[in-house]
Amino acid sequence: MSHRKTVVQTVDTHAIPLTDDERPIDPFLKRVEDARLVMLASATWGTREFHAFQARVTRRLIREQDMRLVAFEADWMAFCRINRWVQGHGDDGTARDVIESASCCPKWRWEHPEFIEFIAWLRDFNTSLPPLEQVGIHGLETPGFNRMARRTIAILEGLDAESASRAREHLAHFHHDHERRRRRGLADLSCEPLERIRGQLVRGLVDRYERDCRELQEEGFVPRDRSWLEQRHQRYEQEAADWHRAMFETDLHTWNRRECRMMERLERLLEHYMGVRAPTRAIVWGAMSHLGDGRATDPSARGETTLGQKVKERFGGAAVSIGLTTHRGTVSAASTWAGECQTCELRPARADSFAGLLHEAKPTSLVLPLDKPQIARHFDDRYLERIIGPIYTPESERQYHYVKARLASQFDVLVHWDETHALEFRPPTSSSRDPCSRRDTSASTS
């Protein structure tokens, strides 16, 4: 029997149907009872089912397993404001209001009912807990990346149109296609314009960061966040300068620097919450390109790492990773960097990809426990894997959105939908449980 037929048969035998009730989630919750970290890694940014599943699992882990920290692949300063709100501080009235005032970027990634309802639920949940036992919600990314990127492009356009155009193209592929970034970044252009404006941009970003800190202080910190923010403030100027270089460097370590920064923040957060629950247990939401174990993907051969790899190296079996994938449907994304967010048709996954293989085996939604030996041995060959961030270019999908990976080495559990849908942006209501602010169409990377 061919390997492909064996895989199809394995899926047909061992896959658990993914239904709308709690039955498919119960075995998974049992699996993570002893985990320090649970990573929920989505193959796309703009898929409604992925966000809903992340929220659904996170609610149960908080309620039933006492998890008290949720971390996101997102701007950590923006999430300081959201964290303050879910812990009952600040003047923001509703979940919609706090996301608007936090300036999360791109806004469409957060201003949809699945996330808004989740943070509204979390605020309600926290009201019954003492302050030092409340659930924290934090970002892991260096603050202001998008702001700096937009400002850089604006200044370059006045200095060197060609550099501005190349920089815009480079940023569009910041989340993936690393080999192309090496070949066609800014290495073949004069970087003099960038060097001239770097100090100005970094100073502007630091000034904005300091203003945000003052506003938070005036409006009221979550008490235990004060020391955390003070520690981060001491390092921020150097981080901002490093980020500006990383945005436009073409060397192989650009991506790694970003992953290491996020790992450092995650470790600091675990320490920060250690006095409350020992040991701290956390849930992490992010993209598959960050939270999967990078050692199982082709970019690893070029020396690239991921946050998921760092977590696995640090915590071993105490970290559980769950990949969320889809075969076809629609997805929210832009076609260019800083372009308009729109609903895009998601092409059926290639036949030579994992998603295409799963569709052939069982064209339905399913859960596959990849850490079971009878399953893992059939899913450790290299197949294509599709990843879509803030930008989707279906006409060049194979080149920009697929990498090769060994699924059973990348994730412990796979949750797969045969068909998924783009995010919905409903008009705001008066309720804090189900508001959704205006659709912001900026799709710059975060």
Give per-residue pLDDT as tens, 94-114.
999 998 877 777 888 899 999
Question: In this structure, what token pair is assigned to residue 317?
Answer: 């079996």
Q: What pLDDT was estimated at residue 261?
A: 87
Q: Compute CA distances 343 → 128, 233, 270, 410, whole Å.
A: 39, 38, 37, 29
φ, ψ (nearest 5 deg) of residue 19: -110, 175
Q: What pLDDT was estimated at residue 25?
A: 86
Q: What pLDDT was estimated at residue 430?
A: 41
The whole-angstrom separation of Cα 354 and Cα 24 is 21
Q: What pLDDT was estimated at residue 446?
A: 38
Q: What is the average pLDDT score of the chain?
A: 82
Instruction: Check pLDDT > 60 for residue 16.
Output: yes
Instruction: Check pLDDT > 70 for residue 21.
Output: yes
Output 93 or 224, whichever has higher pLDDT. Answer: 93
Output 18 or 258, whichever has higher pLDDT. Answer: 18
Band the pLDDT of 137: cuts 50, 70, 90. Answer: very high
The whole-angstrom separation of Cα 414 and Cα 406 is 12
Rounded mean pLDDT of 359-366?
A: 91
The whole-angstrom separation of Cα 300 and Cα 259 is 13
Instruction: Name the nearest CA neighbour of 356 among 8, 1, 3, 46.
Output: 8
Looking at the structure of the chain, the number of domains it has is 1
Residue 428 lies in a domain: no
Residue 378 lies in a domain: yes
Instruction: Check pLDDT > 70 for residue 216.
Output: no
Overall residue count recorded for the chain in this entry: 446
Rounded mean pLDDT of 34-49?
A: 97
pLDDT in tens, 241-299: 666 666 665 555 667 888 998 999 999 899 888 765 567 899 999 999 999 999 999 98
Q: What pLDDT was estimated at residue 218?
A: 62
Instruction: Check pLDDT > 60 for residue 440.
Output: no
Residue 431 lies in a domain: no
Write out 76-132 in H/E/C secondary structure: HHHHHHHHHHHCCCCCCCCHHHHHHHHCCCCHHHCCCHHHHHHHHHHHHHHCCCCHH
pLDDT in tens, 365-403: 999 999 999 999 989 999 999 999 999 999 989 988 999
**What contacts 24+ positions apart, CB below 8 Å, involve 188-193?**
189/162, 189/163, 190/160, 190/163, 191/248, 193/156, 193/159, 193/160, 193/163
Q: Do the beta carbons of residue 143 and residue 78 sit within 8 Å?
A: yes
Q: Do the beta carbons of residue 194 and residue 163 sit within 8 Å?
A: yes
User: Ranked by mean pLDDT, which of 134-138, 185-189, 335-339 comes out on top?
Assistant: 134-138
Give all strands (DSSP E) within 158-226, no chain letters.
Answer: none
Instruction: Name the nearest CA neighbour of 379 among 15, 121, 117.
Output: 15
The whole-angstrom separation of Cα 243 and Cα 446 is 12
Q: What pLDDT was estimated at residue 433?
A: 36
Residue 33 lies in a domain: yes
Beta strand 37-42 pairing with 282-287: parallel
Instruction: Check pLDDT > 70 for residue 190.
Output: no
Q: What pLDDT was estimated at residue 444?
A: 42
Q: Where are the alpha helices (DSSP H) in 220-252?
A: 225-248
Q: Residues with Cβ < 8 Å from 104, sequence gap 6 or more?
A: 74, 75, 78, 79, 82, 110, 111
Residue 426 lies in a domain: no
The whole-angstrom separation of Cα 307 and Cα 25 is 25
Residue-range definition of the domain harbouring residue 410? 3-420
Instruction: Check pLDDT > 90 for residue 239.
Output: no
Residue 441 lies in a domain: no
Instruction: Name the nearest CA neighbour of 89 among 101, 74, 76.
Output: 101
Instruction: Check pLDDT > 70 for residue 351.
Output: yes
Provide, rounded to the nearest whole percent, the portion of the chain with pLDDT above 90: 46
Band the pLDDT of 436: cuts 50, 70, 90. Answer: very low
Residue 435 lies in a domain: no
Provide, rounded to the nearest whole percent, the portion of the chain with pLDDT above 70: 75
Q: What pLDDT was estimated at residue 439?
A: 36
Rounded mean pLDDT of 29-48?
A: 95
